[in-house]
A and B are shown apart, each in its own frame.
Chain A
Amino acid sequence: MIRTLIINVIRFVALVFLQVFLLKNLTLYNLSTPYPYIIFILLLPFETPNVLLFVLSFILGLTIDAFYDTPGLHAAACVLLAMVRVMFISITVQKDGFDNEPEPTLSVMGFRWFFAYASVLTLCHHFFLFNLEVFRISEIQYTLLRFLLSSVFTIFLMLISGFLFFRSKERK
C-alpha cells in the first residue's frame, strides 16, 4: 500500500515535470502536441475508490493548467478521462480479477487490452481537450486534425513508456 502510494507520487511529479518542461516545447508541424501526462490516471490501481480517482484527476489537471495558464481546461478533460476510465474498466475487466492484477499496466494486462484502453481514453481526453480549447465550430477541420495527430503521438509515447517499464510476469 505504502509502496503504491510512493510510486504514484513519484509518477505524478515525474510526469508533470516531463510534460511541463519538455513536452510543452514540443510540437510537430504545429499540429501534433503530445499530452502523455494522462498516463498517471490510466495507471492508477484498480482498487482506487472513485472519489480518490476523481480528486486525483482534478488535481493533476489543475497542476498542468497552472503551468499552461489555462485554469480548468486540463482539469475538465482529466475528469472526463476519469469517467471514461471507470466505464471502460467496468465493461472490460471482471471484478474478481482485481486481486491478482493491481494496476492496469501493459505488462500486467497484455498489449491488446492496454492498447485499446490507452487509445479509447486518450481519444476521449484529447477530443474534449482540443475542442474545449478552441471552443469554435468554424475551425473544426483543423481542430480534428490536431486532435487525431496529437492522439497518435500521445498513444505512441504511452506504449513506449509501457514497454520501457515492462516487468515480466515471472517477477510479479
Chain B
Amino acid sequence: MRNLLIFISKYNAFFLFLIFEISSLVIYIKYNSFQKATFINSSNQVTGNIYGRVNKLNQYLALRESNDSLMAENSRLRGQLASSFYADTAAKHTVNDTLYHQQYTYIAAKVINNSVNRANNYITINRGSNEGIAKDMGVICSSGLVGIVVNTTAHFSTVRSFLHKDTKISAMVTDTKDIGSMIWSDDLGPHTGLLIDIPNHVKPRLGEPVVTSGFSLFPPGISIGKISKLNAKGGGFFLNMEVNLSVDFSRLEYVYVVINKLAVEQATLEAQQKKDDPDTNN
C-alpha cells in the first residue's frame, strides 16, 4: 500500500493527466452528438461497407428484371404525357368586317415532322381535313413563308416545304415591285433560296426584302427573305439572285395554314380559261 502511494506520488503527473483527460473526453463525447454517433457507429463502418458491396452485386444480378419493370413503367407513363394526346380543338381566327370581306383565314398547327437536309423536304402538321385544311393551301409561320399543303388526312397534313425542288412561288422585290419566282435546289442549303426571272433592267440592292406577290396562293406581302447575292448562276436575259430565307426551317414549331376563301373561285375561272385556250400557259 505504501509502495503504491509512493509510486502514485512519483508519477503523479501521469495519473493526474489520466484523470483529467478521461473526464474531459467523457464530457466531450457526452455533449457532442456527432462524436457520440461516430463513436458508437465507428465499429459499424466495416460491416456497413461489406453490406454495401454485397448489395451492389445483388443489384447487378437483378438488372434484367429491373430493366423490364422500368421499361413497362416508361411506356405507361409515356402514354400519359400531354404530348401523346391529340388536341381536337383548332382555333380559327377570322375577322368580321363589313367593308372588307375576309379572304384569308388562318389555322394554327404544330409541326410534328420536318426535314431540311434532303433534296425534297416535307413537313407534317397536326391539322387535317377535319379542321378544313385542303390540298394546295399555303402554310406560313410568324417569320415568313413555309410551304404548300400537298396531302391531307382527317387529322394530319403533309406540307411541301419551301425546300423542295418543285417549289415555284411568285415573289416580289419590295422596292420596285418587280415580280419573279422563288425556287430552291438542294445545293443551296436550307438557308438560301433563288429568286429568278426578274427583268434585267431592275437594279435590286443587297439586303432588299423579298415578299410573296399577290399572284401566289399566299396573301401578298408574306416575307420570304432578303437578297444576299446579286448575280447568281444562270439567268440569261433575266437576273438571278440568291435570297437569304427569313424562316429557319430547322427550327419550325408552329405554323399557320392559310385558307383562301376565294381560291376555288379563282381556280375555276382559270381552269375555264385554260379549257378555252389550251395553248396559253399561266
- Residues in chain A within 8 A of chain B (CB atoms): 50-51, 54-55, 57-58, 61-62, 70-73, 75-76, 79-80, 82-83, 86-87, 132, 135-136
Contact = CB atoms under 8 A, between A and B. Distances in A.
Contact of A72 (B19, B26, B34, B39): B26
Nearest to A128: B21
A61 B16 contact: no
A73 B13 contact: no
B17 A71 contact: no
Interface string B6-48: 0000001110110111011111111110110011000000000
Contacts, number: 65
A75 B27 contact: yes
Main secondary structure of the interface of B (DSSP, over half): helix
A61 B24 contact: yes
Contact of A83 (B13, B28, B29, B30): B13
B21 A80 contact: yes
24 contacts: A51-B12, A55-B20, A57-B20, A58-B20, A58-B24, A71-B27, A72-B24, A72-B25, A72-B26, A72-B29, A72-B30, A72-B31, A75-B20, A76-B24, A79-B17, A79-B24, A80-B17, A80-B21, A82-B20, A87-B13, A132-B28, A132-B35, A135-B34, A135-B38
B83 to A, nearest CB: 47
A54 B38 contact: no
Interface string B52-81: 000000000000000000000000000000
Given A79-B20, A83-B17, A87-B13, 8 more contacts: A51-B16, A54-B19, A70-B28, A72-B25, A75-B28, A76-B21, A82-B20, A132-B28
A76 B16 contact: no
A87 B17 CA distance: 11
A151 to B, nearest CB: 21
Count class of interface residues, chain B: 20 to 34
Contacts of B17: 54, 79-80, 82-83, 86
- Which of B12, B30, B32, B39 is most buried by chain A, counting CB atoms within 10 A of its CB? B32
A50 B12 CA distance: 7
A87 B30 CA distance: 29
Contacts of B28: 70-73, 75-76, 132
A61 B28 CA distance: 12
Contact of B35 (A55, A80, A86, A135): A135
B9 to A, nearest CB: 10
Nearest to A49: B12
A72 B31 CA distance: 8
Which of B19, B25, B28 has the most chain A CB atoms closer than 10 A to its own CB? B28
Contact of B32 (A70, A80, A82, A86): A70
Nearest to A80: B21
A79 B20 CA distance: 6
Contacts of A82: 17, 20
